[in-house]
Amino acid sequence: MLKRTIRQTLFGRGRIVEASTGQEAIEVLGHHRVDLILIDPRLTDIDGVELIGRIRSEPETRGIPVVAMLARVDARKAEQLRRAGACAQLRKPFTAAAFGEVVSQVLEPTHV
pLDDT number for residue 6? 87
Q: How far is CA 95 from the centre of its chain?
A: 16
Q: How far is CA 20 from the centre of its chain?
A: 13
Question: What type of residue sits at position 11?
Answer: F
Per residue in 7-36, pLDDT (tens digit) is 888 877 778 899 999 999 999 999 999 999
pLDDT number for residue 28? 94
* Whole-number Å distance between alpha carbons of 23 and 37: 14
Q: What residues of the chain score a pLDDT lower than 50?
A: 111-112
Question: What type of residue sits at position 68?
Answer: A
The count of C-alpha atoms lying within 13 angstroms of the C-alpha of 71, restricted to the half-sphere facing its C-beta, is: 5
Entry pTM: 0.87
pLDDT number for residue 14? 75
pLDDT number for residue 109? 63
Domains of the chain, each with CATH number or no CATH = 2-106 (3.40.50.2300)
**Could you tell me if residue 20 is left (phi over 0), alpha (psi between -120 and 50 degrees) or otherwise beta?**
alpha
Per DSSP, the three-state class of 62 is coil
pLDDT number for residue 112? 46
pLDDT number for residue 110? 53
pLDDT number for residue 68? 94
